[in-house]
Amino acid sequence: MTLYNPMDLTGKTIVITGAASGIGKATAILLSKLNANLILLDINEKGLNDTKSQCKPDDFIGTVDLTDESAVETILKEAVSIRGKVNGFAHIAGIPSIAPIKAITKKEAQRILEINTLPALYLAKILSNKKYKAEESCSFVLISSVYANVGSSANVLYTMSKAAIQGITKSLAIEFAPKKIRVNCVAPGFIKTQMGEKINHFFDSEHDTLIESMHPLGLGTPEDIANSIAFLLSDASKWTTGAIFNIDGGFCAQ
Amino acid sequence: MEELLEQLADILEIDEIKPQDEFESFEDWDSLSVLSIIAMVQSKYKIVLTATEVRNSKTAQGLFELIKNKG
């Protein structure tokens, strides 16, 4: 008897952005175990190759700057010609931003939006097109943050970029429902990743203890978020759209 | 140094700061000021400072030396 796995992704082609490290890498490895065909995108070629070495040999990797819409479409066109039309994507690439309001600039605000938020629109626009979208089930997953739900000092640009993701999720869920494309969002709590390490210098050593104490189940791992992404990409969530999943160890329950 | 003094005055919401003035003597000196200085230095000078380094620099002169040494 074959084991029943409602999250099986056999035959599905999935695009993952930010696949070179952290949550993106963990998601790629998990989806590969669930037998998905992968199109892995990131600006970091070395990290992508490392991720691919833990996935299937014929998975597609593309080094691309996600802020360049036409470059994204060009590489997706190439990927689809090789791996076939796609059944969904997870936009995981993102960067942190720690700055009180008095230290922010318009240029920095635009940079954060261009990396964290706008690619969600480009990817949805490109991959909802019949030229690239598979006929059968299709699911888009966007990554927000607990900081789109609760306030946080010196975090306004990141919050802005991640709150926008929640709005995009709900609007596109409605717009795409007639096309049978589901759009959902995961809002992670604090995860131990390289992205977190990039902002450690802003804080004193007590900060880590404080952040950990805000998570009743402790800090998360990239795999904790990858599991929820896999669920949303699979047919196990076929009646779920426009949803925001707080995967945060209880952060927002308080 | 002049540019740094102007930026520090802006962060601390004062008209002027002198090189030897202690950061802690200013009413607006707090943890957000430290974050603002780290963000400003990273953006303007492409140098990454830690919160502890900024606190330990004590004065505008100390911060200037820190940036110079890490540059």
Would you please indicate which residues of A are annotated as catalytic (active-site) residues? 158
DSSP A151-188: --TT-HHHHHHHHHHHHHHHHHHHHHGGGTEEEEEEEE
Please state the ipTM of this predicted complex. 0.71
Measured in angstroms, the CA of A93 and the nearest CA of chain B are apart by: 21
Contact between chains at A153 and B32 (C-beta distance less than 8 A): yes
Q: Chain B residue with minimal CA distance to A199?
A: B50
> Of all residues in chain A, what percent carry a pLDDT higher than 70?
98
Q: Tokens representing A56?
A: 């299937």
- CB-CB neighbors (< 8 A) of B48 in chain A: 201
Q: Which domain holds residue B38?
A: 2-70
Task: Kindly state the greatest CA–CA separation across chain B.
Answer: 30
Q: Which pLDDT belongs to residue A208? A: 80
CATH code at B8?
Answer: 1.10.1200.10
Q: Chain A residue with minimal CA distance to B9?
A: A102
How far apart (Å, rounded) are the C-alpha atoms in residues B6 and B60?
10
> Of all residues in chain B, what percent carry a pLDDT higher than 90?
86
Mean pLDDT for chain A overall: 94
A35: left (phi over 0), alpha (psi -120 to 50) or beta: left
pLDDT tier for residue A195 given thresholds of 50, 70 and 90: low
Distances in Å between the Cα of A56 and the Cα atoms of A114, A165, A234, B61 are: 31, 30, 19, 56
Instruction: Give me the mean pLDDT over the A18-26 stretch.
Output: 97
Please answer whether residues A141 and A234 qualify as being in contact, where contact means their C-beta atoms are separated by less than 8 angstroms.
no
Instruction: Give me the mean pLDDT over the B46-65 stretch.
Output: 94
Q: Which of residues 44-83 of A touch B (CB under 8 A)?
A: none
What is the domain count for chain B? 1
Residue B40 contacts A, CB cutoff 8 Å: yes
Contact between chains at B38 and A102 (C-beta distance less than 8 A): no
Contact between chains at B39 and A99 (C-beta distance less than 8 A): yes
- CB-CB neighbors (< 8 A) of B36 in chain A: 99-100, 102-103
Tell me which residue in A105, A153, A204 faces B43 most closely, judged by beta carbons.
A105
pLDDT tier for residue B71 given thresholds of 50, 70 and 90: confident
Instruction: Give me the mean pLDDT over the A163-185 stretch.
Output: 97
Residue A194 pLDDT > 70, yes or no? no
How far apart (Å, rounded) are the C-alpha atoms in residues A158 and A98?
8
- CB-CB neighbors (< 8 A) of B39 in chain A: 98-100, 103-104
Distances in Å between the Cα of A132 and the Cα atoms of A12, A175, A193, A205 are: 13, 18, 31, 47
Residue A113 contacts B, CB cutoff 8 Å: no
Q: Which pLDDT belongs to residue B7? A: 93
Q: Chain A residue with minimal CA distance to B8?
A: A103
Element (H, E) at A140: strand A138-143
Mutate to test the interface with B, among A95, A108, A203, A210 (most CBs of B within 10 A): A203
Contact between chains at A103 and B40 (C-beta distance less than 8 A): yes
Indicate the CATH number for domain A13-246: 3.40.50.720
